[in-house]
Amino acid sequence: MTNRVTEKHRVTAKQLVDIILGKEMSTTEIWEAVKAAHPANTMTRQELALRLRSMIRSPDVKITKKGCGPRALYKLTSVSDKFVERAEVNYRANPRTGTPDKTLWHFHPKELQFCNVHKMFDQALASVQGRI
């Protein structure tokens, strides 16, 4: 059984931004506003908290957080188009939406060399331990 959310039941980043932009709201108030605006959505409070946390960490979003825990207040000031586009591209349940950002997965040749050496070492160690 997969835990995939159909596209019509998922609140997109743009929809979430439209709901909370310019308002100071707690996670409960945001969750209730999302439920009111999109009654068929399946977002849990944990998913909402994760999405808010990713917005706080993003350099493309200006959001302030006052307090901590369930009583924390969030105020979304601005969001770049880059964040909205990447939020949809990076959504793993439906990889076909948007254009993939291939720059996220490029490694320096030295990093690739290290990864390959680590992989070979791990495989050699596994064969000695009899895990293969």
pTM of the model: 0.60
Q: What is the structure's pLDDT at 5?
A: 46
Helix 27-37 vs helix 45-57: crossing angle, to nearest 10: 110
Phi, psi of 65 (to 5 degrees): -125, 125
Q: Can you give the length of the chain in residues? A: 132
Q: Which residues, in sequence order, are bridge partners of residue 63?
A: 76
Amino acid making up residue 53: R
- Tens digits of residue pLDDT in 52-77: 998 999 999 999 999 887 789 999 99
The side-by-side arrangement of strands in the sheet containing 24-26 is: 24-26, 73-79, 61-66
Residue 19: in which H helix or E strand, if any? helix 13-20
pLDDT score, position 45: 87
